[in-house]
Amino acid sequence: MTTNMKALRKMQPARGLSMEPTQVPAIGPTDVLVRVKTASICGTDLHIYGWDRWSQGRIKPPVTLGHEFCGVIEKVGDEVAALKAGDFVSAEMHVNCGHCHQCRVGEAHICPNVKIIGIDQDGAFADFVKIPASNIIKLDETIPEHYGAILDPLGNAVHTVLAGAIAGQSVLVTGCGPIGLMSIVVAKACGSSMVFATETNEHRRAMAKKMGVDVAINPATEDAVKRILGETSGTGVDVLLEMSGNPTAIQQGFKALRAGGRASLLGIPTESVPLDLVNDVIFKGATVQGIYGRRMYDTWEQMTALLKAGRLNLEPLFDERISLEKFESAFVKLQSGLAGKILLYPNGLSHN
């Protein structure tokens, strides 16, 4: 097997990324080497590309990006028995320590020692990626490859939607980026009643409609809280899925939540967010949850089961398919806020 490959890497502490020749990763006894078939770009990759303040504090170049992907196992380490070359796989890219309190009590997704492949270690925007075998998710052959490439953000959506009751519940999704859009589909598939969404970007409101939202509201031109209270007989929604990280959207979400409702917060604000705790949380008897990553591995089991059962139609979300070398145009398009999920193919384009 060849020892050289190409990868999309951050080489310098500055804006931009570059295609670089590099070495195929050497694997240890409990690792797996995966040949990447399809990858996708996440909002985090855009931050790293742009070299914002967060990236400057976190990323240590040189590093290969990419944490949304699927592929085929090329080879397995000597101690790996449950997987073999040829298996169609994706992976949980949060590698937990296995020893801390949270890891010990079944909450590995909030391990404080987590290392993320594609951020802290070389990722999947490459011909090959090295993954610990325990993080590999074997995929059913019926799951289409393009869905296999977006399981990381889809898992965020599934984790958030299924963090409480959803069947028969009315839902507000604040923010219709890729994860908000996927949440709409997951909530509906799991039997929610009315789904409302707020989104300031017109293109994304149109996407929300395509993905089955009942009411898409532009909070810049309409009083979103008034509209939602009006449509719910003054009660408010049962469930808030916060998918924007925007302070105004968060505050509106809490105002539109019914007394006794559930607020599940996934969006990451870049500043402190003032909340009316007395009226919007305490007197409301609201349940507020922070949501991080995907539960290991409950979320993966739920998500792959939903996909295998054909419950999630995410087709409107997919945008262009391009070879990895053409990454630059994808990043530019994504920064405009007008793109869906762009798929990258390090080992050549395929069409299934």
| Residue 16 contacts which entry, ligand NAD, Zn ion, none (Cβ below 5-8 A, type-dependent) | none
Tell me how crowded residue 230 is: count the other CB atoms within 10 A of its CB. Answer: 10
Tell me how crowded residue 29 is: count the other CB atoms within 10 A of its CB. Answer: 10
Distance CA 261, CA 255 (A): 11
Minimum distance from CB of 45 to Zn ion (Å)? 25
Name the residues that contact ligand NAD, by CB under 6 A.
43, 156, 174-180, 198-201, 204, 219, 243-246, 248-249, 266-268, 291-293
| Residue 342 contacts which entry, ligand NAD, Zn ion, none (Cβ below 5-8 A, type-dependent) | none
Q: Which is nearer to ligand NAD, 134 or 201 (CB)?
A: 201
105: which DSSP letter?
T
Minimum distance from CB of 81 to ligand NAD (Å)? 31
Q: Per DSSP, what are the bridge partners of residue 131? A: 32
Distance CA 182, CA 251 (A): 22
Q: Is 237 strand, coil or helix?
A: strand
- Catalytic residue check, 146: no
From the list 22, 47, 203, 248, the catalytic residue is 47
- Catalytic residue check, 44: yes
Q: Which is nearer to Zn ion, 139 or 296 (CB)?
A: 296
Minimum distance from CB of 91 to Zn ion (Å)? 18
Q: Which is nearer to ligand NAD, 235 or 248 (CB)?
A: 248
| Residue 103 contacts which entry, ligand NAD, Zn ion, none (Cβ below 5-8 A, type-dependent) | Zn ion
Provide DSSP, 136-167: EEEPPTTS-HHHHTTHHHHHHHHHHHTTS--T
From the list 38, 44, 174, 299, the catalytic residue is 44
62: which DSSP letter?
S
Query: Is 240 in contact with 257 (CB distance < 8 Å)?
Result: yes
Helices in 190-297 by DSSP H: which ranges? 202-210, 224-231, 247-256, 277
| Residue 293 contacts which entry, ligand NAD, Zn ion, none (Cβ below 5-8 A, type-dependent) | ligand NAD
| Residue 111 contacts which entry, ligand NAD, Zn ion, none (Cβ below 5-8 A, type-dependent) | Zn ion
Q: Which is nearer to ligand NAD, 66 or 177 (CB)?
A: 177
Tokens at 47, concatenated? 């931050």
Minimum distance from CB of 5 to ligand NAD (Å)? 27
Nearest to 265 by CA among 249, 283, 282: 249
Name the residues that contact Zn ion, by CB under 5 A.
96-97, 100, 103, 111, 113
Q: Which residue is nearest to ligand NAD (CB)?
A: 177
Query: Is 136 in contact with 81 (CB distance < 8 Å)?
Result: no
Minimum distance from CB of 58 to Zn ion (Å)? 18
Q: Which are the catalytic amino acids?
A: 44, 47
